[in-house]
Amino acid sequence: MSTLTTEPVREREVVVTGVDARPARVRSNNPDDFAVPHGREEEWRFTPLRRLHGLHDSAPASGHWNITHSAPAGASVDVFSDTNDINSRFVASDRASARAFAGRERTIVVTINAEAELAEPIRVRVDSKGVAFGHVVVRSGAHSRAMVIVDYAGTAQAAVNVETVVGDGAELTYVEVHDQESAAVHLGELRTFVGRDAHFRGASIMIGGDVVRLLPTVEYDGPGGSAELLGVLLAGPGQHHEARTFIDHSTPHCTSDVAYKAVLHGAGAHTVWVGDVYVRHTATDIDTYELNRNLLLDDGPRADSVPNLELETGQVRRAGHASVTGKLDADQLFYLQSRGITEVEARHLVVRGFFADIVGRIGDDPLAERVAQAVEQALAETPTT
């Protein structure tokens, strides 16, 4: 039986449901198969195209790259500066992605050996400038356990796609941290293939940049796979952070759990979450849930939240979504302050607490500390009452 659950909706909420979760989209690695978007297309309607510096149009690649990495025993990272054969499964779904794939200047290949259980995360730092096109491949061997953290810095207008293949029975956490300079633009299509009985946890952390727009997609290579897509978005004045998640359930006994949270402050801060879930008729006995929560620290920002769920079968364990957008809870602040805690500290506790479950699920202490610092800075920029 299918059950649809939706939590109560609060102020400044934009929810559109019932839209086809998967319109027939063009898929191709040839940029010319896609028209130049003008902004009214469904998939571009929230994106400030004028701030993309032509990434979606025809700006030529001119990237300067500084890539550093470390990997513990059982894994390796290789960086290529040609468009050599990488045995790719990537197929782009928009013009910017196709341009990035066709014109990739760097390809970062992360390999995790079968049955390896990594003691440390694999860390990759990408610092780039100019118009930069890149590609990341992550392949985790069967029954391996690993975490990969890719950390973006610099001022580039970058388009970097990611393809992740999670081996059968493997556990993989893939984290992208976007903490670029304030002028930076980043577009990325992140396609993940989850093996039989494998577990994938994908996390997008958006702190910096002018525009960050990610398209995380999950497909299942076999039955029994599970996937989490997690998001931590902190948008300040003028920043645009957008995530369009897509879960494509085609195999039985799989689960998906999407949880994106955003904190916004200041004039022009804008976050977008569009969560598409498509359950094909072959995807019986699946469990899917989507959650989006947005916390507005003042009257300046705007949060758009659009869950779309399309079911071709009723033979599912659960299929639901919840979306809540609101301001800091006055009752929570009063409660904390009535215990002697200052308003400033009460706000810190509540906002850090807002992200705590997601950050805890990602499970990397240095990352948790970075998010905490970003929260601190955001609050310092937000006047108290």
Partner 1 sequence: MTDQIRDDAADTTKGTPVHTLEVRNLHVQVETEGGPREILRGVDLTVRSGETHALMGPNGSGKSTLAYAIAGRPGYTVTAGDVLLDGADLLGLSVDERARAGLFLAMQYPVEVPGVTVSNFLRTSVGAVRGEAPPLREWMKEMRAAFDRIGMDPGFAQRNVNEGFSGGEKKRHEILQAELLRPKIAVLDETDSGLDVDALKVVSEGVNRLQTNGQTGVILITHYTRILRYVTPDFVHVFVNGRIVAEGGPELSDELEGEGYEKYTKVGAAS
Q: What are phi and psi of 199, to 5 degrees?
A: -125, 130
Residue 325: strand pairing partners: 294
Rounded least distance, CB 333 to partner 1, Å: 9
CB of 10 to partner 1, least distance (A): 15
* Stretch binding partner 1 (CB under 8 A), from 40-48, 183-191, 336-344, 375-383: 336-344
Give least dist CB 378 to partner 1, A: 16
* Minimum CB distance to partner 1, residue 242 (Å): 24
The residue among 335 and 380 lying less far from partner 1, judged by its C-beta, is 335
Among 38, 40, 50, 339, binds partner 1 (CB under 8 A): 339
Q: Indicate which single residue of 312, 335, 377, 381 sits in contact with partner 1 (rule: CB under 8 A).
A: 335
CB of 341 to partner 1, least distance (A): 5
Residue 1 contacts partner 1 per CB under 8 A: no
Site for partner 1 in 315-334 (CB under 8 A): 329-332, 334
From 230, 158, 218, select the one nearest 194 (Cα to Cα): 218
Site membership for partner 1, residue 373 (CB under 8 A)? no
Q: Verify binding: residue 64, partner 1, rule CB under 8 A.
A: no
Decide: is 85 part of the binding site for partner 1 (CB under 8 A).
no
Sign of CA pseudo-dihedral 152, 155, 156, 159: positive
16 binds partner 1 (CB under 8 A): no
Q: Is 336 in the site for partner 1 (CB under 8 A)?
A: yes
Closest approach of partner 1 to the CB of residue 233, in Å = 16
Q: Applying CB under 8 A, what is the total number of residues that bind partner 1?
A: 24
Binding flag, residue 354, partner 1 (CB under 8 A): yes
CA distance 270 to 235: 7
CB 290, CB 320: distance < 8 Å: yes
CB under 8 A: which stretch of 91-99, 208-216, 265-273, 350-358 binds partner 1?
350-358
Contact in structure between 187 and 96 (CB atoms under 8 Å):
yes
Shortest distance (Å) from residue 348 CB to partner 1 = 9
Q: Does residue 366 belong to the site contacting partner 1 (CB under 8 A)?
A: no
Rounded Cα–Cα distance for residues 306 and 272 (Å): 8
Among the candidate windows 28-36, 98-106, 145-153, 346-354, which touches partner 1 by CB under 8 A? 346-354
Q: How far apart are CA 303 and CA 214, in angstroms?
A: 16
The residue range among 32-40, 163-171, 192-200, 352-360 that interacts with partner 1, by the rule CB under 8 A, is 352-360
Q: Is 342 in the site for partner 1 (CB under 8 A)?
A: yes
Q: Distance (Å, rounded) from C-alpha 375 to C-alpha 34?
A: 39
Q: Between residues 243 and 336, which has the closer beta carbon with respect to partner 1?
A: 336
Options 2, 88, 313, 337; binder of partner 1; rule CB under 8 A: 337
**Binding of partner 1 at residue 340 (CB under 8 A)?**
yes
260 binds partner 1 per the rule CB under 8 A:
no
Minimum CB distance to partner 1, residue 121 (Å): 23
Pull the structure tokens for residue 362: 């990602």
Q: Which residues bind partner 1 (CB under 8 A)?
A: 329-332, 334-343, 345-346, 349-350, 352-357
